[in-house]
């Protein structure tokens, strides 16, 4: 698509006293915005912190001459490196969804962008997004450690608690209590030692041991 700021021409006439006269066109101005068609029309680009990774996803409304997309990361928002390459659809005019995971995010703020490459080597970049990972310290305590029926949880960040799980020493999950709660019913557990695992929304996890008395 040509790149122009404005197109100009003008209409005037010679011997144009009647409809049979001679007319010329010049100096008519049609403004343009100087833009060209983007190789991808990006509807969304977002990231979410998970337990041990950051999940990234983006959606395109259309793709033109799209060879591939490099997913890039940075810890300072300036120096980016590519850690994933996703092949493009060439020319596509329907909604497309893509997702990748960053398996090794840094604690704190992580920055991401998409680098799109055309078949002719032309490069364009998306906006930069940031995702917080594992930087907020969530204190968690349990009591009593010798449990008869109910295990109590104590934390200042219940609203940031994603889910709770309890495992026996064989590594088997025996309770899977999703959602914020300050108590876990352990009355049906047989006597023995167990491990409570609490996962917070920022990916931080805590493992605490307790004994269930029969």
pLDDT score recorded for residue 2: 39
pLDDT score recorded for residue 5: 46
**Which residues in the chain belong to E strands, given as ranges?**
6-8, 12-14, 22-24, 29-31, 40-49, 54-74, 81-92, 96-102, 108-118, 123-125, 129-133, 141-143, 146-147, 150-154, 161-168, 173-178, 183-185, 192-200, 205-212
pLDDT score recorded for residue 136: 55
CA–CA separation, 166 vs 196, rounded Å? Answer: 4
pLDDT score recorded for residue 178: 60
pLDDT score recorded for residue 30: 44
Measuring CA to CA, which residue among 196, 77, 92 is closest to residue 144? 196
Place of tokens 């994603």: 162
Would you say 83 and 37 are in contact if contact means Cβ atoms under 8 Å apart? no
pLDDT score recorded for residue 7: 47
Measuring CA to CA, which residue among 44, 98, 34 is closest to residue 66? 98
pLDDT score recorded for residue 173: 93
Consecutive 10-residue averages of pLDDT for the chain (214 residues): 45 54 52 53 90 91 89 93 90 89 89 92 91 72 92 81 89 79 88 91 83 92
pLDDT score recorded for residue 106: 87
């Amino acid at each position: 698509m040509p790149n122009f700021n404005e197109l100009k021409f003008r209409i005037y006439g010679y011997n144009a006293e009647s409809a049979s006269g001679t007319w010329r066109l010049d100096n008519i101005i049609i403004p343009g915005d100087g833009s060209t068609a983007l190789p991808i029309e990006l509807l969304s680009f977002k990231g979410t912190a998970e337990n041990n990774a950051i999940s990234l996803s983006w959606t395109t409304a259309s793709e033109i001459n799209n060879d591939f997309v490099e997913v890039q990361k940075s810890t300072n928002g300036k120096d980016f490196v590519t850690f994933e390459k996703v092949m493009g659809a060439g020319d596509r005019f329907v909604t497309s969804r893509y997702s990748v995971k960053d398996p090794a995010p840094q604690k704190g703020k992580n920055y991401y962008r998409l680098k799109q490459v055309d078949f002719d080597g032309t490069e364009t970049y998306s906006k930069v997004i940031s995702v917080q990972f594992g930087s907020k310290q969530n204190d968690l305590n349990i009591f009593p450690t010798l449990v008869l029926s109910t295990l109590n949880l104590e934390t200042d960040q219940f609203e940031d608690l994603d889910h709770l799980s309890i495992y026996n020493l064989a590594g088997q999950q025996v309770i899977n209590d999703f959602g914020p709660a300050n108590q876990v019913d352990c009355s049906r557990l047989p006597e023995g030692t167990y491990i409570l695992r609490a996962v917070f929304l920022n990916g931080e996890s805590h493992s605490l041991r307790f004994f269930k008395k029969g």
